[in-house]
């Protein structure tokens, strides 16, 4: 894909950082409140994760916005990586490992493999436990 086919993509890292900062500073107050309410819900749920029973998965996400709640345009994503998440069985809230209590995250890191992997196409592939993360 050529630059002409991606007209909104920043031309330099400096431009990208400046556009990200401007985007985040200009989020309207209602959206900012909704984002903060979401993060409060995540923080509360993170404390309830049972590392012995939790489901674990990973998918590719921007580590500045792993929940994709800011609405930041994808062309401003600077650090896409394989991010790990956990949830209690039956919960609809996935918690990014970096938002878990340190002790819980440490216990979950030593699991053999996530319960399933989300592919780039959004498909879930169930994993065995034979291969380390």
Structure tokens at 129: 């436990």
**Overall number of domains in the chain:** 1
Burial of 54 (0-12, 13-18, 19+ CB in 10 A): buried
User: pLDDT, tens digit, for every residue of 4-52?
Assistant: 555 666 677 788 788 888 888 888 999 999 999 999 999 999 999 999 9
Please check whether residue 1 lies inside any domain of the structure.
no
Per the structure, the complete domain to which residue 104 belongs is given by 7-126
d(CA 63, CA 79): 6
Please check whether residue 2 lies inside any domain of the structure.
no
Please check whether residue 133 lies inside any domain of the structure.
no
* Strand 55-62 to 116-118 pairing: parallel
Cβ neighbours of residue 3 closer than 8 Å, sequence gap 6 or more: 9, 11
Note the pTM of the prediction, 2 decimals.
Answer: 0.71
């Amino acid at each position: 894909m050529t630059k002409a086919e991606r007209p909104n993509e920043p031309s330099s890292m400096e431009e990208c950082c400046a556009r990200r900062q401007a985007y985040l500073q200009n989020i309207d107050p209602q959206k900012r409140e909704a984002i903060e309410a979401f993060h409060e819900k995540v923080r509360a749920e993170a404390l309830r994760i049972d590392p012995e029973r939790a489901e674990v998965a990973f998918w590719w996400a921007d580590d500045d916005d792993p929940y994709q709640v800011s609405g930041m345009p994808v062309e401003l994503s600077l650090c896409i990586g394989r991010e790990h998440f956990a949830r209690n069985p039956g919960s609809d809230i996935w918690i990014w490992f970096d938002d878990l209590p340190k002790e819980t995250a440490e216990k979950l890191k030593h699991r053999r493999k996530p319960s399933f992997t989300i592919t780039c196409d959004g498909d879930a592939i169930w994993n065995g436990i034979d291969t380390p993360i």
